[in-house]
A and B are shown apart, each in its own frame.
Chain A
């Protein structure tokens, strides 16, 4: 049948079947990827459409009025900034130093392995368990009470693994030759890290810190019982309304309250709050992605 050499490269039924299967498989996988993304776009679109009547700068700057059924979200927004800033101040130094230890100092021994397991576990502990920890450790045992301090410390410990992981990754991407060259001219370990390793990995570390910001801005459960409240009366547009030992409102908590606890709230307000929260988090993440892409394109090695 195939004796004629010209027929050697003609598609047989077998090859056609193979190709057909290939196309089917590929389109199924494509459909699966699309099925993951399309609902997301539809949902975000729907949220924005529903929120549209309330979305304005005024909504951001105004305080909630008439038992939270009208007005804006300023106290919640500024509260989130407080919580994020304070938790960042705690977790960024510890996280970056832990990353440095794991990548630059730790030898491959049991201690390193246990630390690794601990980091993985810390990342996997449910957020509500972190909340219980914050309540038991900071609110009661350390006697900080329900306050911004307790809530931010809880958030800080919860988001620590994010910073540790990305710092490690950033440090590991600096080639070993850089360090060896530096050691060879007589620099100590720490001098090498400060002058060579850190400057070459600062972008990656920054990305991790930014991701920590987005993560802690969105969390609700850990702050629910440690420092966030349903409502706190403050001045409109006040930049420093809270004290660190007092409680505050937070955007994520505010959305939860509006959606489940407040009756007769005008429909667009919770949607607008969700859109503001979502936009904040996604913007912060997009910044991290842009920085990372810039670093990658500039990399010299």
Chain B
């Protein structure tokens, strides 16, 4: 009898055991949910886009490489997204030309050259910079930046590649700085100590030791910045103007893949061909950012393995 009592004390009530099992299953399902969502995103977008692939007006080669985008034309319907792709590319490239040097420079300053206090302040500022909603950036581009651009360059319209590029640069700076700083932080302190012990100055150490050692991490930072810039919608919708053509200079208006979807989806009748092509553009965007993100992840993972 005595033994029976101790056994009773040891075992937990059934509801507790089964409750725990249930919770653990729930946790596992949530863990897998991220995979489900990524597949669901691809599935549902592709499902809406699918019927257009067999349409007589549609041609995959034309979709990717023609710059003629006349989705609502009555007689001559053309679905070429090349001009939009170039639009995305040009704005992103300009943004990176501005953001990469400044971002890496700021990352080096924060990680190597400044005191603890200043470091904390700068990091918080960057976090807040990253939090500014894209529609506010777009509004800044539309009002402040476009006025400045027309004033200083004499361009007839202020919403153009230059405007979008500057806005996107400001938007992707925080991610480049924070990932870049992580990359520099990941270089072991022994590297720094060894080079300082040899009599190198801090700058020599950064240039000859840190940058080569952290180059993969910095590359990943740039890739993630590109991913952010390619996927940005509201800011470029408001700041780059609305001209579907291949730009010939910084002061030309363009339209990007993302902005095109946002601008035309509201007008395209549900399940029409135009609507399906816009979803197909979504599939294209999904694939572009997928490749960029996976590459960045592999680059980062490569470093971790080496250490």
Chain A residues close to B by CB (< 8 Å): 18-19, 21-22, 25-26, 28-30, 32-33, 35-37, 39-40, 43, 46-47, 93-95, 97-98, 100-102, 105-106, 111, 114-133, 135-137, 140-141, 157, 160-161, 164, 188-191, 214-215, 217-221, 224-225, 252-253, 255-256, 259-260, 270-271, 274, 277-278, 281-282, 285-286, 289
| From B37, B113, B114, contact of A122 by CB (8 A) | B37
B262 within 8 A of A: yes
| A-B CB contact pairs (8 Å), 26 listed | A29-B113, A30-B114, A33-B106, A33-B122, A36-B106, A94-B30, A94-B33, A97-B26, A101-B32, A105-B31, A106-B31, A115-B35, A117-B297, A121-B289, A126-B231, A129-B286, A136-B48, A137-B40, A137-B44, A161-B34, A164-B34, A190-B23, A218-B131, A219-B133, A220-B234, A259-B138
Interface residues of B in 91-143 (CB under 8 A from A): 101-103, 105-106, 108-110, 113-114, 122, 124-129, 131-136, 138-140, 142-143
B contact patch SS: helix
Determine whether the beta carbon of B133 is less than 8 Å from that of A118. Answer: no
A114 to B206 alpha-carbon distance, docked (Å): 35
Which residues from chain B contact A282 at a C-beta distance below 8 Å? 128, 131-132
Chain B residues close to A by CB (< 8 Å): 20, 23-24, 26-28, 30-35, 37-38, 40-41, 44-45, 47-48, 101-103, 105-106, 108-110, 113-114, 122, 124-129, 131-136, 138-140, 142-144, 170, 173, 177, 201-204, 206, 224, 227, 230-234, 238, 258, 261-262, 265-266, 270, 278-279, 282, 285-286, 289-290, 292-294, 296-297
Q: A40-B129, A101-B30 are in contact. Are A136 and B105 (CB under 8 A)?
A: no
A290 to B197 alpha-carbon distance, docked (Å): 39
Measured between C-beta atoms, what is the minimum distance from A219 to chain B in Å? 7
Given contacts A118-B38, A131-B265, 18 further A-B contacts (CB under 8 A): A25-B203, A32-B101, A36-B177, A37-B125, A94-B30, A95-B30, A98-B34, A100-B27, A122-B37, A122-B41, A127-B233, A128-B231, A129-B231, A218-B134, A221-B234, A225-B265, A278-B133, A282-B128
